[in-house]
Amino acid sequence: MLKKIFISAVLLIAVLSFVVSLLGGNNNNEPKVAVGDRVAVINISGPIVDGASVEQTLLGGTQAATSGQLMKEIREAAADSSVKALVLHINSPGGSVTAAEEVGRELERFKETTKKPIVTSMGDQAASAAYWLASYSDVIYANSSTLTGSIGVYMPYMNVEDLYKKIGVYTGKIKSGPHKDILSPDREMTAEEREILQGIVNQLYDEFIAVVANGRKMDTAAVRALADGRVYTGKQAQQLGLVDEIGNYYDALEAAGKLIGINGIPEIKEKQTAKPWQILFEARLSELILSQLENALNGAAADMKTAPVPKAER
């Protein structure tokens, strides 16, 4: 009985997977024949976070830009001989310093190993960690209304000690050292702890300044004067040397094409996102498979309970 259930489940999964592949078509969307020179577009949308993969929303968008996915796309572009330039299409408020550092290292490696140009196109926003990544570009395009800059680092914390007292909650802890519970929300931060954390923030801030100064070919002191955490419009950023050109995504694509000797909009290579109906269908498929397996197992269990027990005969 269990063998039959297992075989039926495997066949069901195989058939449904085949249906999905037929309906979805070629999700990779990569040509199977030789292609000419083209530009790889990497979309950086939403907060930049550490992680291996990116989750799509029901409408086909993404919740965040993960360092793992971005690094993978950069490496794939570097390994593709048809890719002659990279375009970063950014619409992000920023995010993790560590995630930006990871992706930035891959962008730097791309430039060093391939000697191919990187162009950035900024959308609504490309601030903080997103500007960190844009700084690795040879040319940066922004719209006049784009919000960018926000060069700086902060470490959030809160103190709810008085709130706990008000509601009658008292906490305690046993710790191995005086700073093990640093940033604990149930007590006031000490002056020594503040000094420790400020040192960390200052180090990360100096690294951010260095990335921008190196990428934009600016004096460190000049960058530091602009880096008080404020945001700038695209037009203001251009006047300050943080952005090169005012233009949209297609202007950036055309600029990338010119850098590799192509007039007009070049052919692009871009990671394809699943369509909303595919996300719904795949979710429904998983639910259906689990439901079928559960029903089959429940049926088998019921059969085993009702089946007569064979009696031994003499």
Looking only at Cα atoms, what is the longest distance across the chain? 102
Beta-sheet strands, E only, within 79-200: 83-92, 118-127, 139-142, 147-149
Query: Phi and psi of 107, rounded to 5°?
Result: -65, -40
Tell me the C-alpha to C-alpha distance, in Å, between residue 252 and each of 43, 203, 282. Answer: 13, 33, 35
> Cα–Cα distance between 128 and 244 in angstroms, integer?
18
Pick the catalytic residue from 165, 180, 286, 291: 180
Beta bridge partners of 95: 48
Could you write out the DSSP letters of every residue in 130-165? HHHHHTT-SEEEE-TT-EEE-----------HHHHH
Pick the catalytic residue from 67, 92, 96, 128: 128
The answer to whether residue 128 is catalytic is yes
Q: Taking the CB of residue 47, how many other CB atoms lie within 10 A of it?
A: 17
The answer to whether residue 92 is catalytic is no
Encoded tokens for 283:
């979710």
Catalytic residues: 128, 180
